[in-house]
Structures are given as C-alpha cells and as structure tokens.
C-alpha cells in the first residue's frame, strides 16, 4: 500500500508517456525517485509526480506497482540529518522535539533531498511536513501547534493526514467553518476532515 508523498524508485523512461518532456526523461533515466501524488490510477498502477530541478518542472504520470524497487515514506526521514545549513533545515532541527511524540514525516523538497542526497532546497524554500492524525485534532490544539511552527526560521506548511485525505494545519487552525480536504478523488470543502466525504 503506497500513500501520497511516498518516494518510489524503479520507474524507467519506458513508463513515461510519449508527451513527457525531455527533462522528465533525463530525471527518470538518472534513476531518481518519483513521488506518489493524490490521484486515482488504474488497478496495478500508482499516480506519481516526476520532479525536475526547477520549481515549474513537475510532471504527472502513472507507474506500475510491479516496477517499484524501493519505497521511502515521509516518517523514515525524521532523523536524517543534512550537513547543509539552510533555513528549512534549521526549522526542521527546531521542530523535531516539538513533533517527537507524534507520527510525522518530511515531504516536499526537504524530504526529497534527505532521501536522495540530491540538493533540492535553497535559501527561500519552505519546509513541508506531514502529520498523521487518524483521530480528530482539536482546533484549539491546531492553533497551538501552528503558533509553534510559526516561530521557525522559514515558512512551514504542515498537512494533517486524516483517514480521508489531507488538510492544511493553517486552514484547520483558522476561523473558516469549512476547509479544503485533498483526496485521491479531488479537493472537497468540508466542515470535518475526519468524516467520509459523501
């Protein structure tokens, strides 16, 4: 079972569609991993994203599950230490003790860099995190957690992963009655991200 934000190795250029850009072929040809994205795929396949060196270089594709040779989940990166000194990595060092009792992981550029050793972060990079929340997180607790994240040396984007999708902590901690829940079937405005979308 693969989940959004997992990194997968094993995709080959032959798995890419004919319209794939040259940079995506080069990335896959170099053996870099792809990231699982929230989208529906045929049985036996998983929706993935190929990431290039530039921010706008993102390409959606599907990968046969049988081709997966290695999988790294966001939680596996929590204790990985980078020798580089960047705001996102300093933020990560600051927040590790705050999140220590939770089930959390690192996604986005920081997760990609920590998993591969390929430099993906720069001085302006945000820190993308994922918090597994199988049980409902009280909105007051969400506000408290957001206040702690906002003391970090860079912007921190934390997604709450509920059984039904993901919602931004910043939204759940805010005043809106309804928040955007992202799931494989699309984005839905909901009042409770811990309830099934019907």
Tell me the C-alpha distance between 188 and 16, whole Å: 29
**Residue 51 near residue 42, CB atoms below 8 Å:** no
Tell me, yes or no, if 6 is annotated catalytic.
no
Tell me the C-alpha distance between 128 and 166, whole Å: 13
**In angstroms, what is the C-alpha Rg of the chain?**
17
Instruction: Select which of 126, 141, 144, 150 is catalytic.
Output: 126
**Residue 59 near residue 95, CB atoms below 8 Å:** no
Instruction: Select which of 128, 138, 157, 192 is catalytic.
Output: 128
Token pair for 63: 């990968």
10: left (phi over 0), alpha (psi -120 to 50) or beta: left
Instruction: Select from 194, 74, 79, 61 the least CA-distant residue to 138.
Output: 194
Tell me, yes or no, if 126 is annotated catalytic.
yes
Write out the catalytic residue numbers: 126, 128
């Amino acid at each position: 079972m693969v989940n959004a934000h997992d990194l997968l190795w094993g995709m080959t250029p032959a798995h890419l569609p004919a319209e794939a850009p040259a940079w995506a072929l080069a990335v896959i040809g170099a053996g870099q991993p792809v990231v699982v994205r929230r989208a529906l795929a045929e049985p036996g396949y998983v929706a993935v994203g190929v990431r290039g060196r530039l921010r706008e270089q993102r390409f959606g594709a599907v990968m046969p599950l049988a081709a997966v040779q290695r999988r790294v989940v966001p939680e596996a990166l929590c204790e990985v230490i980078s020798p580089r000194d960047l705001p996102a990595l300093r933020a990560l060092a600051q927040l590790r003790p705050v999140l220590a009792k939770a089930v959390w992981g690192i996604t986005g550029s920081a997760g990609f860099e920590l998993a591969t050793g390929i430099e993906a972060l720069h001085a302006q990079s945000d820190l993308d995190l994922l918090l597994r929340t199988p049980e409902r997180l009280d909105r007051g607790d969400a506000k408290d957690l957001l206040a702690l994240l906002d003391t970090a040396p860079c912007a921190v984007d934390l997604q709450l992963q509920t059984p039904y999708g993901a919602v931004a902590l910043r939204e759940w901690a805010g005043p809106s009655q309804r928040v955007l829940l992202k799931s494989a079937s699309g984005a839905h405005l909901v009042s409770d991200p811990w309830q099934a979308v019907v």
